[in-house]
Amino acid sequence: MALNIETFSNAKGGNAFFKAIGHPLAARELPSFLANFHGQRVALYDPLGFGRAFCEIFDLSGLNLAGYFVQDIGDLDKQLLGKSAEPITGLAACDPTAVLVMAFDAHRLIDNIAHLVPEAARDRVFSLDALRLPDDMLADSRRYLNSLNFATNLVFFRDGDGHHTRLATANYWSGYGATDPEMWCCLMDENGTPMVEWRGPLPGAGASVIVDSADIRTRFGLGDFTGHLFFHVLKAAGHDVIKYALDTYGDDASVLSCTHDANSWPADLYGGLPAPKPGEDVILWLENSHPVPIPAGNVGLNLMGHDQIAWLDREIPAFGLYDLHVKDLLPAARWPQQIEVQAGKYFVRPRYEVVAEDGRRRIAHANVERTDLKPDRQIPELSNLMGKGYILPAPILPRHRYRSLALPTPMATCQANMPVALSAHDPEGRELGRLSLGKLPRNHDRLVDAAELLNGAAAELAPDSWGHMELVYDFSEGGEADGWLHALFRYEDLESGHIAETSFGGHMFNAVLTYKGEPQSYAGPAPGLSTRLFLSFGPAPYDPICHLIYPASTPWHAQSSTQLTLHNEHGEAVASEEVAIACGGSLLWRPREVFGAEKMAAAGPNGYTIIRDTTCRLFGYHGLVSGDSAFSFDHMFGF
């Protein structure tokens, strides 16, 4: 059974309540909080409708519940813990000796019912305020459920056996007005047991924020661990989302990969998990987001488009981490089949790790599968106004060295088919070829090699040529669309055998007309016609790479006016260069080649680059290169 909680609404954004009650510090206070009700006849007052979600996370079945009361007459049809809702005006009739008010910031709510509380319970009225974090951890102490109070994320974190992880971001909250922001971190093992925790100030505005597993291990004298890091930015402003790059690297290059923020709102379903190739082991890392165990039989896998679900027959502890091997539940699944994850709102967007026969490892992530969408009949008619409409751009890496592959991935429960086409473009934006994939069924396994898109143009191109591909809707054979267009892109190094992959969704780009919030903006309403991307440099001695794409739904400026600004770890600008990218084209570059070795040395290993453009919206991919032995690749984030 899925958790019956609200985590995220595309209309209202993230829900802070489940984060407030599920914070590790709040969960630790729960036993002493519940001790207040031992031996008492408890009246539960639920004026804001939080009772159901609280009971999903914490077991209140041990309460001697005298009655369940609500404020809104429209809630009188509800039930909780076997009790039917009653109006709060009937509180005294159940003769309680304690009252539990299911709310934060409850002082006024308690005052409003003070005259209704019988004498025996006057001194035993309690609220969820007993579970509050300290005020000095909050951005807004007056409104506890302000989402900025819970800028949190759960990060896969591992160190040992030659494997390391490194979280990299920058203090962008100070740029939005945060004063003296801090971070609170708790490193937990696979059983959800805290190993160490620490709190400290974030560096100045724009400065690098780096948390490296090897450094943490040395700092706290830890042994090998595989777990996760609960990361909380305190006193945040502007963004309640912690955006970061996560590099997984090793004592040798065989484990090099990168991914990014895990999205902090657990969902019902995830898609885009690849089935293993023969000889591969695909491991889905399940990070329980809640202080309650995931019961056996509540997480499952099925082939995309198939109804038969294989359920995991084991419990995952509160805040626990479990390595689910796809072959254990779906032994017959084979790439390029793809897998749907039945998640039940127990964990955030999960990472998966692919272990090849030669020991090479790579990590990527699945994506949220929407359950709230339905086909949009207007999308097929948009081409006269929005040109290409929704575009999902992805690099084609230099062909003499890399094989670039695309696998369209259903990412909404309403997607019975995917009417799509792929096109290839050179750096100047010229279309080199196009391939209509028809109306792909939900259970398709159609993998496209970028070489298929060139339509004979390959002979005319230099072996080291590169560019990008675009996945778009194509209704030539009919089909439906909802705007939630996704694909997985895989890149194979033909020399070293190393592989990197990334997945994302399509958007409208660089159009002045808007449609349902598209083209999206980093800040403010649509249309998004500007760029601010963060390029982390990763751990030394790896060399960062970046591929910027200038997609355009409708014709836009002929060239971008893109500023590349190199920063040191303190956020200070070291150097700046301007580049021009052709509309519909792309740019594959390395900071070391653009800025030179001297400037890169001045920026230091914890430096970064901000890609800024006020004239157009770019889409970017970043990664690391380790000589000729390995590379990593993932899409970028902005703030």
Residue with tokens 């990527």: 364
The number of residues in the chain equals 639
Q: Return the number of other C-beta atoms located less than 10 Å from residue 382's C-beta.
A: 20
Query: What CATH number was assigned to the domain covering residues 8-134?
Result: 3.40.50.720
Q: What is the CA radius of gyration of the chain?
A: 26
Q: How far is CA 107 from CA 35, 112, 114, in A?
A: 21, 9, 10
Rounded-to-integer distance, Cα 605 and Cα 537, Å: 7
CB distance 394 to 471 below 8 Å: yes
Sign of the alpha-carbon dihedral angle for 611, 612, 615, 619: positive
What is the pLDDT at residue 567? 98
CB contact set of 524 (below 8 Å; sequence gap of 6+): none
Judged by DSSP in three states, 624 sits in strand
Q: How far is CA 188 from CA 155, 224, 231, 289, 413, in A?
A: 10, 12, 11, 12, 33
Can you give the residue ranges of every domain in the chain? 8-134, 146-365, 379-638
Token readout for 335 is: 């790439």
Single-letter residue type at 569: E
Rounded-to-integer distance, Cα 460 and Cα 39, Å: 83
CB distance 139 to 233 below 8 Å: no
Q: Which of 568, 565, 575, 576 is nearest to 610 (CA)?
A: 565
227, β-bridge pairs? 157
What is the pLDDT at residue 1? 76
Token readout for 450 is: 């970028």
Rounded-to-integer distance, Cα 91 and Cα 45, Å: 9
CA atoms lying within 13 Å on the CB side of residue 67: 21
What is the pLDDT at residue 9? 61
CA angle, corner 109, sides to 104 and 114, nearest 5? 130
CB distance 544 to 623 below 8 Å: yes
How does pLDDT run across 527-558, given as a tens digit for each residue?
A: 999 999 999 998 888 999 999 999 999 999 99
CA angle, corner 309, sides to 306 and 310, nearest 5? 135
What is the pLDDT at residue 12? 59
Question: Roughly how many angstroms between the first and final C-alpha of the chain, as a whole number?
Answer: 36
Q: How far is CA 118 from CA 72, 83, 145, 152, in A?
A: 21, 20, 30, 40
Token readout for 354 is: 């692919």
CB contact set of 171 (below 8 Å; sequence gap of 6+): 181, 202, 203, 204, 205, 206, 207, 209, 571
Rounded-to-integer distance, Cα 349 and Cα 344, Å: 12
- Give the DSSP H/E element, type plus range, for residue 205: none
Report the 3 state secondary structure along 487-554: EEEEEEECCCCCEEEEEEECECCCCCCCECCECCCCCCCCCCCCEEEEEECCCCCCEEEEEEECCCCC
CA atoms lying within 13 Å on the CB side of residue 436: 9
Q: How far is CA 293 from CA 6, 313, 318, in A?
A: 18, 13, 4
CB distance 167 to 230 below 8 Å: no
Residue with tokens 């001194």: 123
Q: Give me the residues of the chain with pLDDT under 50, please.
A: none
Single-letter residue type at 322: Y
CB distance 515 to 508 below 8 Å: yes
Residue with tokens 């009653």: 86
What is the pLDDT at residue 11? 60
pTM (two decimals): 0.95
Task: Give φ, ψ of 225 to 5 degrees.
Answer: -150, 150
Residue with tokens 């509800």: 78
Q: Which of 373, 452, 360, 455 is nearest to 414 (CA)?
A: 373
CB distance 214 to 167 below 8 Å: no
Q: Where are the beta strands (DSSP E) in 205-359?
A: 208-212, 225-234, 245-250, 257-260, 269-274, 281-287, 300-303, 310-311, 321-325, 338-342, 351-355
Rounded-to-integer distance, Cα 264 and Cα 148, Å: 13
Rounded-to-integer distance, Cα 229 and Cα 196, Å: 10
